[in-house]
Amino acid sequence: MKQNIVFTATLGNALEKAVGGVRHDRLFCLTDETTLQLCWPLVKDVPAMRDARMITIKAGDEHKTLESLSSVWSALQQGGATRRSLLVNLGGGMVTDLGGFAASTFKRGMAYINVPTTLLSQVDASVGGKTGVNFGGLKNEIGVFSEADTVIIATDFLRSLDEENLLSGYAEMLKHGLLDTEAHWASLMREPFSLFEGEEGRALIERSVAVKERIVTEDPTEKGLRKALNLGHTVGHALESLALKRQQPVLHGYAVAWGLVSELFLSNIKEQFPTDRLRQMTRYIFDHYGKMAITCDDYPVLLELMSHDKKNEAGVINFTLLGGIGDIRINRQATKEEIYESLDFYRES
């Protein structure tokens, strides 16, 4: 079943309709400290939101934890939430992931609406029904599939984003282009920052969401094709988890971009992904995202982190690779030597 995704230039009207469309006894709104300051002012005067009970958690992926989750459950409990209550998640991917999980498990499940406020959450995290929290130093280790009643995508919020957060979301858009067509990918291989003004930006976001939506509709619980969306994430999540271990967290999209370099290298040596496209992507990513410093000494730790990836089966690390742009190859394996070679390519390119 297709998820209800609303693209809008009139946020207030869309939110009024979405909240009004869900029968509820109490309304709650989850933000983090950043979105409370920057994004809540854009929705607080919407009539449907005036009686919302506010819940606010600390910002940043390092706070996407059981502790934060417990604080949301406690606030719902103390606010008298029931199974007929409604939670609006106003924030980036951390808020929509954690809030979606909180709503889906409190009283065995209450309705929720996602209002993603970052480019990353608009094109990726808030769409598709994945919810969860980090656990034991691993990304999104605990979670459930549970779709929001509505996802409202309003580009108004993007004006508050800095360049790094725009780039973080753009990495997922690049991934969607690689999974789709040469023309889609080529339209993204430009300077990204001016693209989110006006119609052109909205069209690119809508196309990116459409790629994810098409894949999720065909495989909602990641039994097969949905694993395509993990392109760049096996290595990327390992780098992201390593950064958390170092207490030097990096933005999710940056880790995905770096992961794409290694995984397109594996695609090249194992699936004949074109060398010229590998070089173009590698140059583009390093020009825009820089590089996380790793050494050969980090390889065993990164391999161990990859071994915990949720796509794995029977202890075997599974990658999503490409034979070419749009030519998706899921459940591909690589030897330890090949994985180390891909990390060498990342370090030395």
Closest CA to 255 of 211, 290, 208, 299: 290
Amino acid in the structure at residue 325: I
Looking at the structure, do residues 68 and 79 belong to the same domain, yes or no? yes
Looking at the structure, do residues 79 and 152 belong to the same domain, yes or no? yes
Strand partners, 142: 133
Looking at the structure, do residues 176 and 77 belong to the same domain, yes or no? no
pLDDT of residue 159: 83
Looking at the structure, do residues 127 and 245 belong to the same domain, yes or no? no
Closest CA to 86 of 97, 74, 100: 100
The CA distance from 218 to 161, in Å, is 32
pLDDT of residue 27: 98
Looking at the structure, do residues 178 and 293 belong to the same domain, yes or no? yes
pLDDT of residue 128: 86
What backbone phi and psi angles, to 5 degrees, belong to 249? -60, 145
CATH number, domain of 170, equals: 1.20.1090.10
- Angle at which helix 275-289 crosses helix 163-179, to 10 degrees, equals 170
CATH number, domain of 74, equals: 3.40.50.1970
Say what the pTM is. 0.90
Looking at the structure, do residues 140 and 176 belong to the same domain, yes or no? no
Looking at the structure, do residues 116 and 66 belong to the same domain, yes or no? yes
What total of structural domains would you count in the chain?
2
pLDDT of residue 119: 94
Looking at the structure, do residues 216 and 101 belong to the same domain, yes or no? no
Looking at the structure, do residues 52 and 108 belong to the same domain, yes or no? yes
Q: Which domain holds residue 298?
A: 164-348
- Angle at which helix 336-348 crosses helix 252-271, to 10 degrees, equals 120
Beta strands at 27-32 and 86-91: parallel, antiparallel or unpaired: parallel
The CA distance from 127 to 213, in Å, is 7
Looking at the structure, do residues 180 and 213 belong to the same domain, yes or no? yes
pLDDT of residue 255: 98
pLDDT of residue 139: 83
Looking at the structure, do residues 125 and 235 belong to the same domain, yes or no? no
Contact yes or no for 33/244 (Cβ under 8 A): no
Closest CA to 306 of 330, 335, 285: 335
- Angle at which helix 336-348 crosses helix 299-306, to 10 degrees, equals 120
The CA distance from 349 to 332, in Å, is 24
Helix, strand, or coil here: 349?
Answer: coil
Last residue of a domain, one of 128, 144, 161: 161
Looking at the structure, do residues 230 and 174 belong to the same domain, yes or no? yes
Last residue of a domain, one of 161, 196, 214: 161
- Tens digits of pLDDT across the chain (349 residues): 567 999 998 899 999 999 999 999 999 999 999 999 999 999 999 999 999 999 999 999 899 999 999 999 999 999 999 999 999 999 999 999 999 999 999 999 999 999 999 999 999 878 888 999 999 988 889 999 999 999 999 988 888 888 899 999 999 999 999 999 999 999 999 866 565 666 777 888 999 999 999 999 898 888 889 999 999 999 999 999 999 899 999 999 999 999 999 999 999 999 999 999 999 999 999 999 999 999 999 999 999 999 987 777 767 899 999 999 999 999 999 999 999 999 999 999 9
The CA distance from 233 to 252, in Å, is 9
The CA distance from 85 to 75, in Å, is 13
